[in-house]
Chain A
Amino acid sequence: IAGITQAPTSQILAAGRRMTLRCTQDMRHNAMYWYRQDLGLGLRLIHYSNTAGTTGKGEVPDGYSVSRANTDDFPLTLASAVPSQTSVYFCASSDELGRQYFGPGTRLTVL
C-alpha cells in the first residue's frame, strides 16, 4: 500500500510559470488537503476537499487552485508562480477518525 504519493519530489521553477503538483492516494479516503510548510510557520492549509467534486479554501489559498475529479487524485495548480510560493508542499488525506496521512512532500523553488 503506497498511501499518499506526490510528484515531483522537487522542482525549480521560473517566476510566472504554471505548475501542477500531483497527489494520489490509494486509501479511498473522502477528504484530502494541501498544506505548505515554511520555516517557523508550521503547516498552513491551502485548499481542501471533503469529497470528490467539492473543494474549499484554507487559510492561504491565494495563487493556488485545486480540483477533485475523483476520489484518488487532488492536484494543486500554481497558475503563475511567484517567489513567495517557494515552500515544501504536503498533500494529505484523512480517515474516518480524523487522522490525516501525509505524502512525502514536494520541495518547490520559484526563482
Chain B
Amino acid sequence: DQQVKQNSPSLSVQEGRISILNCDYTNSMFDYFLWYKKYPAEGPTFLISISSIKDKNEDGRFTVFLNKSAKHLSLHIVPSQPGDSAVYFCAATPSFDRGSTLGRLYFGRGTQLTVWP
C-alpha cells in the first residue's frame, strides 16, 4: 500500500520555465515532508523539506507547498535549468515514528524531470 504517491512518472519542461512536481499522501499522521533529487549512478540527495506547521518553504529556486487538507504537496523549481534534470522523490514521515532520532521515511516512486534547452 503506497502511502506516498507521485502519479507522474515523468515531466518535461523547457529551460527557464517553471517545473511543478506533485506528491500526494494518505497517512494523516505524516507531519514532515522532504524532497530528494537523484542523478543516475548516485545516491539521492536531500533538496528541501517542510513541516506540517507550515504551508510553504522556500530555498533559492526551490519552493515546496503543503496543502494538509488535500494531503498534497508540490515542489516548484523556478527557473528550471538543464542541471535540474534528475529523478525527484517525495518522502514523508509520521510524528509518532520520530522519537529522539526521527524515523523512517516513506518514499514515492519518483518523477523523472527533464529540462530541455
Instruction: Point out the residues of chain B lying under 8 angstroms from A12, CB to CB.
Output: none
Cβ of A109 to closest chain B Cβ, rounded Å: 15
- Residues of B86-111 at the interface with A, using a CB-CB cut-off of 8 Å, are 89, 91, 93, 98-105, 107-110
A42 interface neighbour in B49, B89, B99, Cβ under 8 Å: B89
How many chain B residues have a CB neighbour from A under 8 Å? 27
**Residue of B at shortest CB range from A100?**
B105
Instruction: Point out the residues of chain B lying under 8 angstroms from A64, CB to CB.
Output: none
Cβ of A53 to closest chain B Cβ, rounded Å: 13
A41 interface neighbour in B36, B98, B109, Cβ under 8 Å: B109
Instruction: Point out the residues of chain A lying under 8 angstroms from B108, CB to CB.
Output: 42
What's the Cα separation between A105 and B42 when bound, in Å?
7
Looking at chain A, what size class is its interface with the partner chain?
Answer: 20 to 34
B49 interface neighbour in A45, A51, A99, Cβ under 8 Å: A99
Instruction: Point out the residues of chain A lying under 8 angstroms from B36, CB to CB.
Output: 100, 102
Interface residues, chain A, with chain B CB atoms under 8 Å away: 4, 29-31, 33, 35, 40-45, 48, 50-51, 58, 90, 92, 94-105
Interface residues, chain B, with chain A CB atoms under 8 Å away: 6, 9, 32, 34, 36, 41-46, 49, 89, 91, 93, 98-105, 107-110
